[in-house]
Amino acid sequence: MTFDAITIRALAIFASASIASATASAASVSCESLATLALTDTTITIAATVPAGTFDPPGPTPPVDTAACRVAGSIKPTSDSNIQFEVWMPLSGWNGKFLSAGEGGYAGSINYGGIADALRRGYAGGSTDTGHVGGTADFAPGHPEKVVDFGWRAKHLQAARSKDIITAFYGAPIQHSYFSSCSNGGRQALMEVQRFPEDYDGVLVGAPANDWTHLFAGFVWNEQALFETTGAYVSASKLAAVQAATLATCDALDGVVDGVVEDPRKCSFDPATLACPAGTDGASCLTPPQITAVQKIMAGPSNPRTGAHIFPGYFTSAAGAPGSWPLWITGPAVPGASVQAFFGNAFFGRIVDEIPAPGVWDYTSLDFDADIAFTDAKEAATFNATNPDLSAFRQRNRQGRIIMWHGWEDPAISALSSINYFEQMANANPGNRSFFRLFMAPGMTHCGGGPGPNAFGQSLAQARPLNHDPENDILSALERWVEQGVPPERVVAVKYVNDNPALGILRTRPLCAYPKTAVYVGSGSTDDAANFDCRQPNNGRND
């Protein structure tokens, strides 16, 4: 045993956590020796040193550029389970911490991009396929245990085994564990907090799909709105007109004409103002069935018998942007082709109704009364992470901290869903401001993108290069909150020219801890975050 290793062991036992964190940065055993680690229900399949730049993940993800020990394994909590997971540990410069990635959509593959991001920040990083292969719901019919693995079990077991492996490799305790992800990954983060409050010290929750059954009902609601009535489909050119008309009505309400609506709840845009002259059609006007379709999408689904709202609708100030409504909501001019319709049809067809063959389920069959009740009774306990009682996470030995963020113009998961959950949580958790904060991003679409400032370190790809400043990097802000007790009041977001960091910064703007919003102070450039304050809205809660 080297002097360094002895020092590490001694510090782990006797010294403060912060000193150990700074010192325990190198391995205490060989990477390859981890192949024989005995872990519950787990088989280690790979334990190998990976030199920087030599592992090229499938798809567009670039090679992992940090030298690391790669451990892969399979966890089988049931006879039908096969949860593949990986944990990668930097060979040098470990920051003493674990950062789990999440997996978007229907998951089904290891998130190597998220692992690479964690390694670049000095973390041990991990991910799981959540128990099935491929980003569809094809795994589900006849495999209820695999559905549970995807719903919540895999992420917990991945966290537990990853911690076991990291501790064995470095021979030192993990100082802090974090989770950062978006969309289904945001749902995973809230699920972990609600079911397994000891798994993470801090979670970064992006645009969560946490009200899963109702969100997916909304996907089919939009499909019906666009395709059940002849001529209701809304083309991309018409959506560009909807966006322009929305901005003409509402852009200036926040005091700055910048193509972004700071709080779209204050914008009352009526698509009927774009009506084509009676009996005509055109590229930038709406026919009566199209007006009805846009109104339905803006309203969101409701129960036809009781009128009860099922899920919030969508805003329109970025409706024409390429990655916005045309991708997620309207899609090509056939049913089942938008991203929402793909996800919605697969959920109700393959998971709820367990139809053995894909593509059979009829989207027109969904009834927003009995079918939603049936779906909730069968699936909500597995998929929904909507429990507002976070007292176990808030009151754990080391108080847990949550930062949630959401793009106001999200075309996949309505931003109002996160606000609804935040308000429910606030009512259920007195003192919530001490452990849970929400940051809304005006003009941002799903997990990034859109006309608003949309890069604030929510993933390393959406951070300023090599910048780990908690003032403009939201993961660093979470670390500072957990480790130093400094709550985040604002995080400066960047809008790059054409969303390309290589082309330079167009604008910076603070994202404010909800319900505060960014207000222009009245002098200086409106492209500079320094000229904005975070202020309480006149009618907002003052906490």
Interface contacts to Ca ion, rule CB under 5 A: 251, 254, 256, 258, 260
Catalytic residue among 28, 127, 183, 317: 183
Shortest distance, CB of residue 463 to Ca ion, whole angstroms? Answer: 25
Nearer Cβ to Ca ion, position 429 or 517? 517
Closest to 192 measured CA to CA, from 136, 228, 151: 151
Shortest distance, CB of residue 119 to Ca ion, whole angstroms? Answer: 38
Does residue 248 contact residue 205 with C-beta atoms inside 8 Å?
no
- Burial (CB < 10 A; 0-12, 13-18, 19+), residue 510, is buried
Q: What six digits make up the tokens of 350?
A: 């393959």
What's the distance, CA 510 to chain centroid?
20
263 catalytically annotated? no
Nearer Cβ to Ca ion, position 19 or 252? 252
Does residue 166 contact residue 29 with C-beta atoms inside 8 Å?
no
Euclidean distance between CA atoms 276 and 294, whole angstroms: 14
156 catalytically annotated? no
Shortest distance, CB of residue 320 to Ca ion, whole angstroms? Answer: 16
Shortest distance, CB of residue 247 to Ca ion, whole angstroms? Answer: 8
Provide the pairing of β-strand 436-441 with 401-407.
Answer: parallel
| Alpha helical stretches, state H, 122-235 | 144-148, 154-170, 184-195, 212-227
Does residue 424 contact residue 213 with C-beta atoms inside 8 Å?
no
b/e for 212-224, b at 16 or more Cβ within 10 A?
bbbbbbbbbbbbb
In angstroms, the Cα distances linking 457 to 77, 182, 404, 475 are 35, 12, 13, 6
Nearer Cβ to Ca ion, position 149 or 254? 254
Shortest distance, CB of residue 260 to Ca ion, whole angstroms? Answer: 5
Nearer Cβ to Ca ion, position 247 or 416? 247
Nearer Cβ to Ca ion, position 119 or 260? 260
Euclidean distance between CA atoms 278 and 388, whole angstroms: 49
Euclidean distance between CA atoms 126 and 162, whole angstroms: 7
Catalytic residue among 132, 176, 406, 446: 446
Nearer Cβ to Ca ion, position 155 or 516? 516
Shortest distance, CB of residue 528 to Ca ion, whole angstroms? Answer: 15
25 catalytically annotated? no
Catalytic residue among 410, 414, 417, 418: 410
Does residue 320 contact residue 244 with C-beta atoms inside 8 Å?
yes
The residues annotated with a catalytic role in the active site are 183, 410, 446
